Amino acid sequence: MKINKLFQLSALVGAIFLFGACKKIGSGSGSNSGSSSSSTGWEYNNPKNGGFEVRKFADQQTGPGLVFIEGGSFTMGNTQDDVSFEWNNSPRRVSVASFYMDETEVRNLDYLEYLYWLSRVYATDYPGVYRKALPDTLVWRDKLSYNEPLLEYYFRHPAYRNYPVVGVSWVQANDYCQWRTDRVNEMMLIKRGILSMDPAQKNENNFNTEAYLAGQYEGLVDKPLPDLNPNGTGTRKVKMEDGIMLPKYRLPTEAEWEYAALGLIGNTLSERVVERKNYPWNGNSVRTNEKSYYGSFMDNFKRGKGDYMGVAGNLNDGAEIPAPCGSYFPNDYGLYNMAGNVSEWVLDVYRPLSSYEASDLRPFRGNVFKTPVRDAEGFLAEKDSLGHIKYRDITTSEAMNRKNYRQADNINYLDGDFASNVDNNRWKEEAKDSSATDLMYQYGMSSLISDHARVYKGGSWKDPAFYMSPGTRRYLDESDASDAIGFRCAMTRVGGSIAGK
């Protein structure tokens, strides 16, 4: 009895000590809850001692339209037989950091809002900006099908406003992500009363997140933040350190997209994957086993030749073309249409052997490292005529002392660069005046793959069930578009991997 009490007392003391240690760690340099620096003892937010400011920051806000995706380790790659015999996605274990992803594909309505803004801001002096962003509605044409009504109505008619936008290239999708970043951050500053609405923005005088942070956009200031620097002007703009504005919207990487599509968060037990999925839902069937909806299709795809939606009176997926965004059942992350409806662009450059070469942490191929353009005195160059900060590729001399990279363009690292060529003498001779992929990827001659080939994932309304598996991968040139490819945006999670902690 005494031994048990002694054991309980020891456990209680240990718990109190552990709680105290955790509390001490949480209130130290890794937290902003303290009022003074744990390194120097100087008080934060005090203009009398210099005014070093530390604003309260609880957690990253979830941007409009996004869903939090808790990251983790998973087996990326094929989950079924490779019936196309491409062998381009062998299973391998990787880790994906937590991030955010759109609940649905980007809709026609969302893209129309984007085009309207471009027209309002740029159309008078830079009409080419608007024309460059227009989706290719001609993708609907088929030499032996009557698809002219889709060409005319699908993108602009209100009956299709909640349908996924198609006919958008990879390049256009990236431009949309950049625009969305700026509009979201502008609205966040407006809601906080820092800026006022400014519908008269024109040309380079429009809100751009990077230009604002660099001091190259003023806007209609309402209530600027107080500047605690005793040598300052008394007020200031928002800084990155304030944590008010969100990170960039962007396309998800291939690993992020595949991880999110599988939705393993609802399929694990004590770090064990109970069942490896073929689709974003459990089981090997394309129909649900939920009693209330038993037999209903889980997404929109082509069941067989000539069967896009079933038979009248008993339609299976009920959509011969893309269905409205948010149709069918979400996966365990709450994401819709990660299997069918439309395929989706991802960030990666396509290479057949990416599964063997990419990193096992945040795998991605497509890095081209850039740096802002600066003048002769080292100051940031003036933004361009569209209001964007100018960037350039880093130079070899700037990277010569780096150990983690040696050049700007790393698309072909370990796959396509001259060092990978079997004819070593030839690459040594031609390395000085040839592009990196001249030898291994001669587009149109020896390969259909180039540095502009981008991966797209998931099945679509015109694909068989095989492509509904998240592990399948295909590619298309970044400037091309299709009636079966759309996209959704993602956002990097900053800070901890667990939301709210």
Model pLDDT for residues 408-434, shown as the tens digit of each residue: 999 988 875 565 555 555 555 555 555
Element (H, E) at 118: helix 108-122
**34 confidence band (pLDDT: 50, 70, 90):** low
pLDDT number for residue 271: 81
- Residue 416's nearest CA partner among 442, 394, 395, 396 is 442
Q: Do 112 and 156 form a contact (C-beta atoms < 8 A)? A: yes
Judged by DSSP in three states, 291 sits in helix
- Grouping H, G, I as helix, E, B as strand and the rest as coil, residue 273 is strand
User: Among residues 191, 181, 234, which one has the least CA distance to residue 212?
Assistant: 181
pLDDT for the residue 421: 53
Pairing of strands 225-226, 235-236: antiparallel
Alpha-carbon distance 409 to 366, whole Å? Answer: 8
For residue 155, count other CB atoms closer than 10 A to its CB: 23
| pLDDT at residue 23 greater than cutoff 90 | no
Q: Which residues contact 127 (CB under 8 A, 6 or more apart)?
A: none
Partner residues linked to 447 by β-bridges? 443
The rounded distance, in Å, linking the Cα atoms of 180 and 248 is 8
Residue range 102-129: mean pLDDT, rounded: 97
Looking at the DSSP bridge assignments, the partners of residue 159 are none
Distances (CA, A) of 209 to 247, 301, 392: 10, 39, 18
Structure confidence at residue 338 (pLDDT): 96
Q: Which residue has the tokens 């009398």?
A: 48
Question: What contacts 498, CB < 8 A, 6 or more positions away?
Answer: 70, 98
Average pLDDT over residues 75-92: 80
Share of the chain above pLDDT 70, in %: 85
Q: Write down the pLDDT at residue 16.
A: 43
Q: What is the mean pLDDT of the segment spanning 252-259?
A: 97
Phi first, then psi: give them for residue 357, nearest 5 degrees. -110, -30
Contact status, residue 76 vs residue 355, Cβ threshold 8 Å = yes
- Say yes or no to pLDDT of 7 above 50: no
How high is the mean pLDDT of the chain? 87
Q: How confident is the model at residue 445 (pLDDT cuts 50, 70, 90)?
A: low
Q: What is the mean pLDDT of residues 249-271?
A: 91
The length of the chain is 501
Per-residue model confidence as pLDDT tens digits over 154-177: 999 999 999 999 999 999 999 999
Residue whose C-alpha is closest to residue 182's, from 151, 204, 167, 158: 204
At 314, is the secondary structure helix, strand, or coil? Answer: strand
Cβ neighbors of 379 (< 8 A, separation 6 or more) are: none
Strands 99-102 and 66-69: antiparallel
Measure the N-to-C terminal CA separation of the chain; round to a whole number of Å: 40
Give the per-residue pLDDT at 481.
98
**Tens of pLDDT, residues 65-82:** 999 999 999 999 888 777
Token pair, residue 291, equals 């009693």
Residue 33 has pLDDT above 80, yes or no: no
Averaged pLDDT for residues 356-382? 93
**Residue 482 backbone phi and psi in degrees, to 5:** -150, 155
Mean pLDDT, residues 1-21 taken together: 46
Q: What is the DSSP letter of 388?
A: -
Share of the chain above pLDDT 90, in %: 66
Mean of pLDDT values over 11-17: 46
Residue 314's pLDDT band (cuts 50, 70, 90): confident
Measured distance CA(2)–CA(54) in Å, rounded: 51
> Tens of pLDDT along 210-241?
999 999 999 999 999 999 999 989 999 999 99
Q: What is the pLDDT of residue 15?
A: 46
Helices within 373-423 (DSSP H only) = 396-399
Which range, of 106-120, 232-246, 287-301, averages the lowest pLDDT?
287-301
Q: C-alpha distances in angstroms, 103 versus 64, 325, 460?
A: 10, 9, 17
The closest of 329, 339, 332, 328 to 274, measured between CA atoms, is 332
Q: For residue 318, is pLDDT > 50?
A: yes
Instruction: Report the alpha-carbon distance of residue 188 to residue 62 in Å, rounded.
Output: 12
* Mean pLDDT, rounded, for 369-381: 95
Output the pLDDT for position 273.
79
Asked whether the CA dihedral 400, 403, 408, 411 is positive or negative, the reply is positive
* CB neighbourhood size of 126 (10 A): 17
Does the pLDDT value for residue 331 go beyond 70?
Answer: yes
The H or E element containing residue 191 is helix 170-191
DSSP symbol at 320:
S
Q: Answer for the pair 52, 44: CB distance below 8 angstroms, yes or no.
A: yes
Strand partners, 235: 226
- Assess whether pLDDT exceeds 70 at residue 24: no
Cα(430)–Cα(51) distance, integer angstroms = 57
* Model pLDDT, residue 424: 52
Q: What is the DSSP letter of 476?
A: E
Tell me if residue 475 falls in helix, strand or coil: strand
Closest CA to 98 of 361, 331, 366: 361
Q: Are strands 249-250 and 490-492 parallel, antiparallel or unpaired?
A: antiparallel
Q: Please state which of the ranges 246-255, 314-323, 335-344, 478-487 shows the lowest mean pLDDT.
A: 314-323
Q: Is the pLDDT of residue 27 over 70?
A: no
- Residues 285-312 have a mean pLDDT of 81
Q: Token pair of 181, please?
A: 């970043």
Report the SS3 class of residue 95.
Answer: strand
The H or E element containing residue 392 is strand 391-393
Nearest in space to 119 (alpha carbons), one of 109, 127, 110, 111: 127
3-class DSSP assignment, residue 4: helix
